[in-house]
Amino acid sequence: MFELYNKPYTASRYPILARNGMVCTGNNLASSAGLQILKEGGNAIDAAIATAATLTVVEPTANGIGSDAFAIVWYKDEMYGLNSSGKAPMGISIEKLKEKGITEMPKHGWTPVTVPGAPKAWVELSERFGKLPLKQVLAPAISYARNGYPVTPETSRMWKNALRNYQDKIDDPVFAEWFNTFTVDGKAPEPGQIIKLKNHADTLEKIAETKGQALYGGVLAEQIEKDSIAHGGYIRKSDLENHKVEWVKPVSVHYHGYDVWELPPNGQGIVALMALNILKEFQFTERNEEMFHHQFEAMKMAFADGMHHITDPRFMKTDIKTLLDPNYGKLRAQEITENAKLPEVLNPYKSGTVYLCTADQEGNMVSFIQSNYMGFGSGVVVKDTGISLQNRGHDFSLHPDHVNSLAPGKKTYHTIIPGFLTKNGKAIGPFGVMGGYMQPQGHVQVVMNMIDFHLNPQQALDAPRWQWIKDKEFHVEHSFDANIVRRLQERGHLIQVNMELASFGRGQIILRMENGTLMGGSESRTDSAIASW
């Protein structure tokens, strides 16, 4: 299916091939941490945990101990889904916020903080599927945090952007610990500069020693509650104690001979599936304006439906089976005309996320994603712990009649999504593209690149991407064919060339060939690395 040697893009690299194991991430040290665990006798799940924990250290610009996490696990020829997204605190409500004069959820501070789920995901994955003790698996991350690591160029760039965005908070005591933790003499680190995160190391050590209990009911939970109360936040120790990982059944659509898998809501994975459910009604033989036009229209429709329906599944009014029904895809496909349409949608946001995938020689594979959202998340770091808290609550609506309205103990619409491909019941492999609302758009593009155009993982990632912004507005990369852009504009699409490559997501893919060889692709738009053996 996938062409190993045909290179349609001059910037494209060949994929990486290996036999015994592979780890793909956006950071070379994180990838090497996962590979280290594989060589120490761990499996793909152990490697994923080690990699995820290390990413909280070496890429704090996108995730942290206060992140949420999702995973699709292929283990002994069975598929499992994990949702470890946290709920809104039980003490928060629309009424309480409005009494304070808050009319929309803020991006920063304690108000948008939801319960962190990532460490609990590591623990649950380790206990259910892992081979090595959690202490051993988290050891590389602890070592990097305590002894230091060199900052990569893209991480340095994102760090500097965050510092610029936080300049108006420099005298606010809510954010004092962020500046203490993540600046050196008031500056963001330069590429190659060594950074040590001692408090982060101590916290990871406590999580490893207690199998997460320190964070979900112990000394770390007490510190989070203490800081929250001191700064007018809503999260409490009891919210952390009540956090549970949900094991869920992944959902799929059949697309041109393959099954494409995502996790069900509260994540936005079904947005990618809804788009593919529409696009499967067409056959594409060329990456031309006709194909891109159909992609654009299908993506807008999928987002319109997704943003109208997706939230905590306990609060959803629509069965996702209806949204993924083949007949519904046909109906939506019939709405595509020759010209661009204007759907009723919300505006996408930028995000901060890390994605990784792993595979071992036993056939196990993991698609794993965790995120603080919008870079450093809430901008809140819990005193003396290094715990950088997410701001997922920002996506809640304060309109009571909105499907994703804020409520105590409710999960919000979630952007981070892991993907997976199978064929005839056999694993093909994990894939993912980071980047807020770019994620389902990236999933659709790389899946179609591989399935419809037989591109290998590296080519599928390197191919020029587009991003829907709002209404009829799309951004394309500078490498996009100018003639295709012109013809799409003639159809009514408003297209702008965006020179910022990071805006188009950061992806990783591992596929297993029929003979068992692992084939990996890594993101060329940013720091990225594949470790294999």
Q: How many CB atoms within 10 Å of residue 52?
A: 33
Kindly report the backbone phi and psi dihedral angles of residue 262, in degrees, each rounded to the nearest multiple of 5, phi listed first. -140, 170
Closest CA to 492 of 305, 343, 335, 342: 342
Count Cα neighbours of 296 within 13 Å in the Cβ-side half-sphere. Answer: 33
Q: Is 361 exposed, middle or buried, given 0-12, 13-18 or 19+ CB atoms closer than 10 A?
A: middle
Q: What gap in Å lies between CA 279 and CA 255, rounded to an integer? A: 8
Residues with active-site annotation: 353
CA distance 44 to 359: 5
Tell me how many degrees the CA angle 401-85-427 measures, rounded to the nearest 5: 115
DSSP, collapsed to helix, strand or coil, labels residue 47 as: helix
Residue whose entry in the numeric block shows the structure tokens 């109360």: 229
Q: Are strands 506-512 and 466-470 parallel, antiparallel or unpaired?
A: unpaired
Q: How far out from the chain centre does Cα 57 lie?
A: 17
Select from 220, 30, 29, 250 the least CA-distant residue to 120: 220
Strands 473-477 and 494-498 come out as parallel
